[in-house]
Chain A
Amino acid sequence: MGPDDGAEDAMRLDEDGAAEVLARAVDGVRPPTPRLVDGAVRRGRRLRARRRAGTAAAACVAAGPVTAVSLWGGAPRSGGVEPRSPTGRTDGGPGPVRVPDFSAYPSTAEAVPPGKERISARATALALKETLPWDLESSQYAGRNQAGKWLGVVPYDTSARLRVAGRGTDGEVKVDFQSQFYAQMDDGTDGSPRAGLEKWYACARFRAQDHVRRCEVARLADGSVLLTYEKRSGARASRHADLLQADGHRVAVGAQAGAGGEPPLTLGALRGVVTSHRWRLFVDPEVNERAKALKPFETLGG
């Protein structure tokens, strides 16, 4: 972080500040202690019984991960619950919008529908490439796939980035695709994620030192919520479009300019990218298959 970054004041990431960073990363986490202890006692009893039976070696292995069981199985992910009708609608502006109510939605991983697959990192990069304006050249594809990887309390799915050039500029465009975003935004305010989501999808969350301009938030016709904004700080400029789909998935696309230049996508172009029908968590196998031809592609480490 540079000396002009306000983040230094908020969070120092040197040896002295590291403890604070780690503390803040788990601040407010309320573990399910009674359930964990009960489970530990059950497992401990089994372990002790096995030890007594002279099978300690087997016990060591059994203490590792246990088989996954999804309570949601193959059931419809929303249990037939639809987002509540919008109570207000805006065509775009800095004012607040009402987000869908996801409180009845599941907070665990979604089951893969029959005949579908989770979108791969490579297919995410391909979708990004193919939703860019036609006159932009893309290269240097990279992505990471965290399907099944839980971050905090929700699955974090795929992300991808690529270099773009054209229109007399160049830079990088990235996308983060995250399912069940609502589940991690439950801040405990009212027992639902709505309050957290409404804080996130609001221009008011930015402060002066964030150097945010042209912030708008809109409730789209399909019930999704779109936040767009531009950031300018010194020679650095970037534009962002953050979409909360009506099914609770989040697509966040950002375009970063090269040194001193303009970001390669306008806010309008980003809006087109982020609202593409291509952003689906589960896709036909052919989609992932076709993406295998995307080269060169770097798989980013997890």
Chain B
Amino acid sequence: MGRREERAAEFHEFAHAAGPRLFRTALLLTGGDWHEAEDLVQTVLARVFASWARVRRVEHREAYVRTALVRAHLSVRRLRRSAERPVAVLPEAAGRDGDPALRVTLLQALARLSPKDRAVLVLRYWEDRSVQQTARELGLREGTVRNRSMVALGRLRELLADERDVLTAR
């Protein structure tokens, strides 16, 4: 196997291992938009593939790529000019397990937050980053991150207040 094939195999191994978590992060960032999440993951993995010679040497590759995902998401939100939607292939019908009602309720509530608030919540509580790291990665002040976290959680509480039947029926 030549060096090129070796690196391609390395990338495949990395992408298959990191993909599920990456996709779930993307789904949270997009407020449950399955197709936008797919596009986001593909976009970031494509960039990683194109720069694999460099990315493969990064110490915490998965965390690095998830940060890239958050930044790409916010960047795409700025660039997006239309409601174009990548639906080249359908999502698999068997792609959902767990509790669909609960998931829909929670994603529906997340979708009502602003993209940046979702990004703050995802980095702070899903990615378990510190306030300082979150601030650095989103280009915000630490106070802004703390404030946005509190406000976004408060908003989620409000949005989910009427969904007690779904939240408690588990």
Contact = CB atoms under 8 A, between A and B. Distances in A.
Contact of B121 (A1, A5, A18): A18
Contacts of B57: none
Specify which of A27, A151, A183 lies most central, judged by the most chain B CB atoms within 10 Å of its CB.
A151
Interface string A197-212: 0011000011101101
Contact of A22 (B83, B102, B122): B122
A109 interface: yes
A1 B153 CA distance: 12
A18 B153 contact: yes
Contacts of A207: 168-169
Contact of A66 (B27, B47, B84, B96): B84
A133 to B, nearest CB: 23
A209 B102 CA distance: 17
A214 to B, nearest CB: 14
Interface string B150-170: 000100110011011101111
Interface in B100-114: 100-104, 106-108, 110-112
A10 B106 CA distance: 13
B74 interface: no
Contact of A31 (B28, B36, B95, B167): B95
Contact of B97 (A7, A151, A188): A188
A13 interface: yes
B5 interface: no
A29 B87 contact: no
Contacts of B126: 19, 22-23
Nearest to A65: B84
Residues of B contacting A: mostly: helix
Q: How large is the interface on B (under 10, 10 to 19, 20 to 34, 35 or more residues)?
A: 35 or more
A33 B20 CA distance: 6
A32 interface: yes
B128 interface: yes
Contact of A18 (B101, B125, B164): B125
Contact of A65 (B15, B48, B86, B128): B86
B119 to A, nearest CB: 12
Interface string B49-88: 1100000000000000000000010001001100111111
A151 B104 contact: yes
B71 to A, nearest CB: 12
Nearest to A49: B50
A78 interface: no
B20 A31 contact: yes
18 contacts: A7-B167, A7-B168, A10-B170, A19-B128, A22-B126, A25-B103, A30-B92, A32-B91, A32-B95, A41-B8, A43-B49, A45-B50, A48-B50, A151-B108, A152-B107, A187-B96, A187-B99, A207-B168
Interface of B: 8, 11-12, 15-16, 19-20, 23-24, 27-28, 31-36, 38-39, 41-50, 72, 76, 79-80, 83-104, 106-108, 110-112, 121-122, 124-126, 128, 149, 153, 156-157, 160-161, 163-165, 167-170
Given A66-B88, A187-B96, 19 more contacts: A6-B164, A18-B153, A22-B125, A29-B97, A31-B38, A37-B15, A40-B44, A44-B45, A51-B50, A69-B86, A70-B87, A107-B93, A151-B31, A152-B107, A185-B100, A188-B97, A209-B168, A212-B165, A231-B165
